[in-house]
Every structure is written in C-alpha cells, then in structure tokens.
Amino acid sequence: MTTKDDRVRNVLTVDVEDYFHVRNFADTINLEDWETLEEVAPNATYRILRLFEEQQVKATFFVLGWLAKRHPRLVRAIHAAGHEVACHGYFHEPVRAMTPDEFRADVSAAKKVLEDTIGAPVLGFRAPSFSIDESSLWAFDVLLGEGFEYDSSLFPGRMVPFGFAGVSRQPCRLDRGAAGAIMELPLTTLTVAGVKLPFAGGGFFRAYPYAMIRAGMRHINEREHAPVVVYFHPWELVPQQPRVAAHVKARIKHYLGLTTMEKKITRLLRDFAFVPASEMLETCR
C-alpha cells in the first residue's frame, strides 16, 4: 500500500497577487487605480493558509511587492506558518517589457520589502506572467546580482504567450558565465495526443476537469518519475470577486472555472504529496 510519504513529491506554489494585477486587465485597469479597488487576495490568502494547515502541507508563496507593502501582517503570517516567502516582482510588470535597469529596480524593491517584513532572506523569484524568454536572458544575471538563488518562470517549449525553447522539463542549473549559475524550477507541461499543454495550474486547471488533472499528475509522477509544479492565485478561489468591464476574451480567460477551483485544489492536496520550491531544489543541487 502506497502511503503519502511514499509518493512522488510535487511542488506547491501560490502567486500572491490580486485580480486587478493580472495582464488580462492591463488595458482596462491602470496602476494608478489599484489603491482604489476592492481587494480580495488578502482574505483569500488567509483562507489558503487555513486550508494548507488542515491538509498539513507547506508551500512557496511568490508575493507581489506592492501587495506585501500594503499587507505586511499577511506576509508575516505566511512566514510564521512555516511556508516559504518568495518574490513575484513589485508591480507585476512583464520582464520583457522592462529594461535591465528597470527590472533590477523592480525586483530589488520587492525583495527588500519582503525581507524587511519577515526578517529572513528571500531566495526565489517567479516572473509575472512567466515573462522571461530568449529575449530577456539578462534577467537571470540581474537575479543573481540581487542575491536570488533560484527562478521558477519558464515553461519548457514554444507556447503562446509564453514558453522557453530548450529548457529542461526537470529542475536544472542555468549557467550564466561570470554572473554565476541560478537554479531553475520549470513549470510543468503535459503531452496529450502529441500536443504539449501547459499543466501547472492557474487558468489551465480551472479549465481542465479534475479527472484530467489527476490522470496527468499520476502520469507525470508514475510514468515519468517527475514532480509537477502547481501554482494558483488567491483570487482564483473567490468566485464573487468584482467583475471588470474588459474585452470578452479577457473576461472568459479570467472568470472561467472560478466556482470549482477551490474544490480542485483541495482534492489535489488530498490526492498528491507536495513540498515548497526550495525544498525540491535542495535535492537537485
């Protein structure tokens, strides 16, 4: 009989941002308006902390600097519960839209507010919208210069609007020459009928039926003997969040599957074993 301790350990991550930070709404909601909008992420994150405590799992929380600055008590609660606090940038700006100097200023500010809040080093980074690609390899040099030890931003293969051709599907080291080397924890993909699909959570898990998610997780764990990197956002557990008057495609992508997401995440935590990103990477060094 397989026990929970015998199962392949997957990686559990939460991208702590609010609904009005997402790129789907960037053409509709201006940064200057953020402070005036109703927030749902803080309360949802506290609910996630309770869920994780009930299921006895630890995770990595990639926290947006803007949100951390407004809610330091929440960040301290994540840390106090034994979860890893990592960085999701400050203003949720895609890396490819910034210059190296702009990116350095953004991640430096985010890292500082997180470290000052929890009184401990922040070693991991995830780019907003997984936006590191072949045109922005310099981002790894910036991350190394700012003291980050690992990144979790890359989807292996060529996909739209993200994807990084040539990166391993397994945790790996990215050599940056004189800048050093950074560990990469790539997001998971699943090949179905010859088609490579993103398979790491978020909107994909909201769209996929749970039977497909469970079967895909089992295939990757049992046939490929590999972990799955799962991510989701606090706002995805809030079906009654404010509705944004964006274009139809953005609304479909954002609101699809919100009513079932919390149930899916809860079932995942019961059916599979999970650890934080940093714990997984310790076994790969």
Q: What is the pLDDT of residues 15-51, one digit of tens each?
A: 999 999 999 999 999 999 999 999 999 999 999 999 9
The 10 Å CB-count burial string (b at 16+, else e) for 241-250 is beebebeeeb
Cβ contacts of 241-246, under 8 Å, gap ≥ 24? 241/19, 241/40, 242/19, 242/37, 242/38, 242/40, 244/19, 244/20, 244/25, 244/28, 244/29, 245/28, 246/24, 246/25, 246/27, 246/28
Residue 128 sits at the vertex; the CA angle it makes with 181 and 118, to the nearest 5 degrees, is: 75
The structure tokens listed for 262 are 């919390």
For residue 2, pLDDT over 80 is answered with no
Name the pTM for this structure.
Answer: 0.96
pLDDT digits (tens, 9 = 90+) for 172-214: 999 999 999 999 999 999 988 888 888 999 999 999 999 999 9
CA dihedral of residues 105, 107, 108, 113 (deg, nearest 10): 120
* Mean pLDDT along residues 125-154: 95
pLDDT of 196: 81
The CATH architecture assigned to 4-282 reads Alpha-Beta Barrel (3.20)
Read off φ and ψ for residue 181, nearest 5 degrees: -135, 145
More confident residue, 7 or 112: 112
pLDDT over 50 at 1, yes or no: no
Average pLDDT over residues 269-277: 97
Write phi, then psi, for 180 (nearest 5 degrees): 115, -155
Q: What does the block give as tokens for 88?
A: 């999701």
Evaluate if residue 237 carries a pLDDT over 50: yes
Quick check: 22 and 254 in contact, CB under 8 A? yes
Find the mean pLDDT for residues 217-228.
94
**Residues in the chain, overall count:** 285
Cβ neighbour number for residue 76 with a 10 Å cutoff: 15
Q: Is the pLDDT of residue 79 over 80?
A: yes
pLDDT at 4 over 60: no
Average of pLDDT values for 243-272? 97
